[in-house]
Chains A and B, each alone.
Chain A
């Protein structure tokens, strides 16, 4: 055995801690749900704080999952688990999962997806990504968030749009033209896009690869994020 084995591998320590933290955040969120369920629906003064707590907790959880996934992808210890899924079921799960949190802030969420639409992707990765994009829209939407899916030029397009002010110019991105040259020095939002682009790129079919776009063609000129899967 070489000497290297005695030195701790910081990457592995970090990955294990992140895994642990992710589970702790999950426990915190579950506890939060339980406390909230004991409050009266209308008579609780802490409603707003619950919503904020849940939003921040999910953001934290999603970030940890992102880090863990990126770590695994970069160490190639891992390949996506791609199989066929019913898209409306996946989106419905994302919708239901976020509905109550958004409602507490007075934001509605609806979806548009034809029944029977199916696609090939890693369920957890894609559902996790859509979930964190919705969670992000929580911050910017005024009254409405919409998620949807359709077939487009041989790709499955999944999108999340809101009626907020839209993305700032630095965050507009067209994955068809730019590769994954996303600049994430500008903070965690950049990391989010980088993560999304990485997830997209893990999906390949024949010569095509998944990609993402961000534009301001959402509801009333709000932000729109679209994930294209081959």
Chain B
């Protein structure tokens, strides 16, 4: 076995059984790790991860009540507590194939199946440690979000070594897709597939076709993938998304239901199914999926007040206002009266009270919701906005409805699915014509702001352009193009008169607010890397601002 140790490595053991924790600890001690910390449950694990960085995390899948191991992983990644250079290893009695295929997006760095023997542990850890050391430069670049640099390092590594070849191809493909380099990613996947039919490469080709909005091609790829690998769950999610873009929501729902049947324990998948079923007026499925999403999400970082509000809405549609009221009343306590929770509860509350015939409570809730929406327009998601507008229309307050809906259109002017939902909402309220006009004028306004700002920029009126886009971004805080243009005008000024921290921070905030939709991915990434260059040119005072989230 040669000389091998865990010297200088920090290890976290997560298991709900004290015997298991001490068994693992005693197995590890002879290899002299720098430290071994333990956690009894998911919350403790997250706490530990917040406090320090671990090289290796051995986490049991089943952690008793509360989060399971997969949810710990999701939360840790979501909150940026897990650098790429760490190895998160899930310990489970299931076979890895079942676990790998069931996961949505987040996969651990490895699995160890139970029972864990000293030999298995040694062999696996040795492997992870060796890999950690060999790929350290690459993971470090990834931790700093220097994706193009990470790709260069992967290429250099592959030129000199033969190990981890396909794993690195997979990583590179993922990085290229993230960076919007679709052409290169496609060439890579095709080259891999010419040698061997690997599901991930086929899957990445499908994702690339999807982001290029070539939906027919994407659907074909995902279908073929699923024929050969019916347990490749993520492909159902993407095929459903593709079918939805093609406008076939019925088929999209059918596909997603297959995925849910195979792997039901995913909050995001249940949420997506509920939204689709709702569009298809399949209220039974909507309600069941909403309930499951809430149950699965109980201990998850991914849960949202909107899950409860949406359940209340479908209960109303199904004629159960009393039950809807109960769900609505749970929102604020469940989410500690967060601003979003207050808004969601007030918005759906007004409709629940209306259904129960309580006019006064209905009006009060609606007023409160409108006040909250006005004060914090960035909280108004499409769902909340539409729910509010529906209440306003029902309360015969068309002007309030228009104001809210205008906000929704401003934030989603290039999202056809949302605009279709908005139109349907107004048609059902008998104002079909009004909405078409509202959408049209709003879109024209946005186009003219963008044109005007870009013209100013071209003519060198940089300050005026910053001012114009800044104002626009305040009034439509989620609009991608406006936000990206606002960032662009700031970057232009820094290019000409040198970077400064406040402008850089503001530009990064705009880029983040623009969201991460595939349509603007390339521009998004370009602006981000320009910001990084500008940050590098700053006087070296602090370096913690160089890594935008």
Q: Contacts A30-B115, A84-B167 known; A96 to B97 CB distance under 8 Å?
A: no
The interface size of chain B toward A, counting residues with CB under 8 Å, comes to 33
Given contacts A81-B101, A124-B113, contact A96 B119 (CB under 8 A): yes
A120 to B124 CA separation, bound complex (whole angstroms): 18
- Are B114 and A26 in contact (CB-based, < 8 A)? yes
A206: chain B residues at CB < 8 Å are: 197
Q: Which residues of A contact B96 (CB under 8 A)?
A: 81, 123-124
Report the bound CA distance from A92 to B120 in whole Å: 10
List, in ascending order, chain A residues with CB within 8 A of B98's CB.
Answer: 78
Q: A residues 94-126 with Cβ under 8 Å of B?
A: 96-97, 116, 118, 120, 122-124
Q: Does B93 contact A (CB under 8 A)?
A: yes
Question: Contact at A84–B120, with CB atoms within 8 Å?
Answer: no
What sequence of 0s and 1s flags, for each residue 122-136 of chain A, a beta carbon within 8 Å of any chain B beta carbon? Answer: 111000000000000
Chain A residues whose C-beta falls within 8 Å of the C-beta of B123 in the assembled complex: 89, 92-93, 96
The reply to whether the CB of B79 lies closer than 8 angstroms to some CB of chain A is no
| Nearest-neighbor residue (CB-CB) of B94 within chain A | A19
Q: Mark A6-49, 1 if CB is under 8 A from B, else 0.
A: 00000000000001000100110110010000000000000000
Which residues does chain B contribute within 8 Å of A2, judged by CB atoms? none
A33-B101 in contact given A84-B165, A96-B1, A116-B162 (Cβ < 8 Å): no
Smallest distance from the beta carbon of B134 to chain A beta carbons, Å? 12
Q: Which residues of A contact B229 (CB under 8 A)?
A: 79
With both beta carbons as reference points, the residue of chain A lying nearest to B124 in the complex is identified as A93
B100 within 8 Å of A by Cβ? yes
Q: Which of B97, B127, B196 contacts A89 (CB 8 A)?
A: B127
Q: Verify A124–B196 contact, CB threshold 8 A.
A: no
Give Cα distance in the complex from A23 to B115, angstroms: 7
Question: Do B122 and A79 touch (CB < 8 A)?
Answer: no
How many residues of A are counted as interface, with CB atoms below 8 angstroms from the partner's CB atoms? 30
Query: Does any Cβ of A come within 8 Å of B335's Cβ?
Result: no
In this complex, what residue of A is CB-closest to B93? A23
Task: Say yes or no for A174: interface residue by CB 8 A criterion.
Answer: no
Q: When the two chains form their complex, are residues B120 and A97 in contact, meaning their CB atoms are under 8 A apart?
A: yes
Q: Which of A23, A93, A205 contacts B114 (CB 8 A)?
A: A23
A78 x B97 contact (CB < 8 A) = yes
Tell me the A133-166 residues at the B interface (CB within 8 Å): none
Asked if B197 contacts A205 (CB within 8 A), the reply is yes
List the B residue with the shortest CB-CB distance to A127. B120
Interface residues in B281-327 by Cβ distance below 8 A to A read none
- Is A83 an interface residue, CB under 8 A from the partner? yes
CB distance from B129 to the nearest CB of A (A): 13
Which residues of A (70-89) have their CB < 8 Å from a CB of B?
A: 76-84, 86, 89
Beta-carbon contacts under 8 Å, B17-63 to A? 23
What are the residues of chain B within 8 A of A77 when measuring CB–CB? Answer: 231, 262
What chain A residues lie within 8 Å of B198 (beta carbons)? Answer: 82-83
State the Cβ distance, B277 to closest chain A Cβ, in Å.
19
Interface pairs (20), CB distance under 8 Å: A26-B93, A26-B114, A27-B115, A30-B23, A30-B115, A33-B118, A77-B262, A78-B98, A79-B101, A79-B230, A81-B96, A83-B167, A84-B165, A93-B119, A96-B1, A96-B122, A97-B119, A116-B162, A118-B162, A124-B96
Residues of B at the A interface (CB closer than 8 Å) are 1, 23, 93, 95-98, 100-101, 113-115, 117-120, 122-124, 127, 162-163, 165-167, 196-198, 229-232, 262
